[in-house]
Every structure is written in C-alpha cells, then in structure tokens.
C-alpha cells in the first residue's frame, strides 16, 4: 500500500506537472482567472487523465509499439469529446466559461505524457494512483494560481467579495499577462520552498 501512496504523492509535489515537469501550461495560463474555472479545468482534465490511463494500461498489450501514440490520442479524444458533451448537457455554465478549452484538453501534454511515461508501462492499479496523484497535483496548483489572479483581478475569491466595493480591479491579473506573471512567481516560490525543505532534510 505504501508503494501506491508513493506513486500518488509523486504527482502532488516531486513530479508535480505544473511546477516540476512544467507541462500542461496551455489551460494553466488560459482559464485560471477565477477559482471556479481553475477548479473545473482541473477536474475535467483529471477525468480525461484517469479514464485514459485506466483504458491504456488495460489494453497496452494489444497496442503495437509503432502506433502507440496515435492509439493514445484516439482514446484521449474519445474521453475529451465525452467531457465536452457531458458538461454541455449538465453543467452549461461551466461549459460556457471554459468554452474551447475543453476540446483543447486533447493537446494537453500532461495527459499524453502520462500515458507514454506511466500507463503504457505499468499495471492498471498503479496507473490509477498515478492518474489521481497527477490530477490532484495539477488541480491544486490551478486553484492556487486562479485564487491569486481572482483576488487581485476581481477582488473576490470563488465569487465572494474580499476587498470590498472600493477596490480597483487589477485588470492585468485577469489577462494572459497576469497568468504569466503569477505562474512565473509561483513556480519560483514553490521551487525555492522545495530546495529549502530538501536541504533541511538532507
């Protein structure tokens, strides 16, 4: 069990997709202007990641090596399309807010990367722990990032007013520029923290 937990924990920090592997940055930069959007994007990506890691780890023996990438893409596309229709039918507000970034989950290299690096070489049970760990790791960074941007950009957190009516919104924080600024500082701070904790332990 400890072994599985180690796989899960891997995605939270040691191999965190955003601030360690630096992959999956397109949605990270694009949709994190409110906490709700950041969280929804994390969940949608997580669903696709978990489902495709399960399917690919199950059928990996039948996929010839030469066509493994196209096969992974076909499977990922299927789950992304499912997510698109599902959100459109049952969560139309979220579907409107994320709009074209849902179909773009297909090209999120976090997903393809984990199939190639993990699901296609490990048994299903381990793949599930990897996918869930990566999902939580991806989502928490998205939420922190969007919380910072929403707080300064709109003066709110998850729609709740924090700074009051007198606050002048920092428009830059909602625009792509704010995403780059915040992400850069956040990745720097987290890696600094990581180095500090690492040197204390070592």
Partner 1 sequence: MAEKNNSIARLIITLTIIGALGALFLAGVYEWTIPHILEHEARARERAIMEVLPEVDYYEEATHNDRIFYEGYDENDNFVGVAVSLRGGGYAGEIEIMIGSDPYAREIINIFILNHQETPGLGARITEEEFRENFENAPFSELEIVRRTPEEPQEIEAIAGATMSVEAVKNIVSRVGDVISEHYGGGS
Q: With binding defined as CB under 8 A, does residue 180 bind partner 1? A: no
Q: With binding defined as CB under 8 A, does residue 85 bind partner 1? A: yes
Q: 76, 127, 84, 129: which is closest to 103 by C-alpha?
A: 84
CB closer to partner 1 out of 169 and 191: 169
Q: How far apart are CA 129 and CA 10, in angstroms?
A: 10
Q: How far apart are CA 156 and CA 152, in angstroms?
A: 8
Q: With binding defined as CB under 8 A, does residue 123 bind partner 1? A: no
- Can you read off the two tokens belonging to residue 90? 């049952």
- Within 8 A by CB and 6+ apart from 164, the residues are 155
Of the candidates 6, 58, 169, 197, which one interacts with partner 1 according to CB under 8 A?
169
Stretch that binds partner 1, among 12-20, 72-80, 102-110, 138-146 (CB under 8 A): 72-80
List, in sequence order, every residue forming a beta bridge with 196; answer none if it has no partner: none
Q: With binding defined as CB under 8 A, does residue 6 bind partner 1? A: no
Stretch that binds partner 1, among 8-16, 17-25, 58-66, 104-112 (CB under 8 A): 58-66
Of the candidates 174, 179, 182, 183, which one interacts with partner 1 according to CB under 8 A?
174
Shortest distance in whole angstroms from residue 169 CB to partner 1 = 6
Q: With binding defined as CB under 8 A, does residue 33 bind partner 1? A: yes
């Amino acid at each position: 069990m400890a072994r599985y937990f180690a796989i899960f924990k891997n995605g939270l920090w040691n191999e965190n997709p955003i601030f360690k592997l630096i992959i999956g940055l397109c949605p990270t930069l694009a949709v994190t202007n409110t906490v709700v959007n950041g969280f929804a994007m994390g969940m949608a990506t997580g669903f696709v990641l978990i489902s495709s890691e399960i399917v690919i780890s199950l059928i990996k023996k039948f996929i010839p090596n030469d066509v493994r990438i196209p096969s992974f893409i076909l499977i990922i596309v299927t789950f992304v399309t499912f997510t698109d229709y599902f959100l459109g039918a049952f969560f139309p507000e979220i579907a409107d807010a994320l709009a074209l970034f849902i179909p773009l989950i297909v090209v999120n290299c976090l997903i393809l990367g984990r199939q190639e690096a993990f699901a296609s070489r490990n048994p299903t049970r381990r793949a599930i722990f990897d996918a869930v760990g990566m999902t939580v790791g991806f989502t928490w960074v998205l939420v922190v990032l969007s919380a910072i941007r929403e707080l300064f950009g709109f003066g709110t957190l998850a729609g709740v007013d924090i700074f009051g009516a007198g606050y002048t919104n920092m428009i830059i924080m909602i625009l792509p520029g704010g995403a780059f600024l915040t992400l850069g500082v956040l990745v720097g701070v987290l890696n600094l923290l990581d180095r500090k904790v690492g040197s204390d332990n070592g």
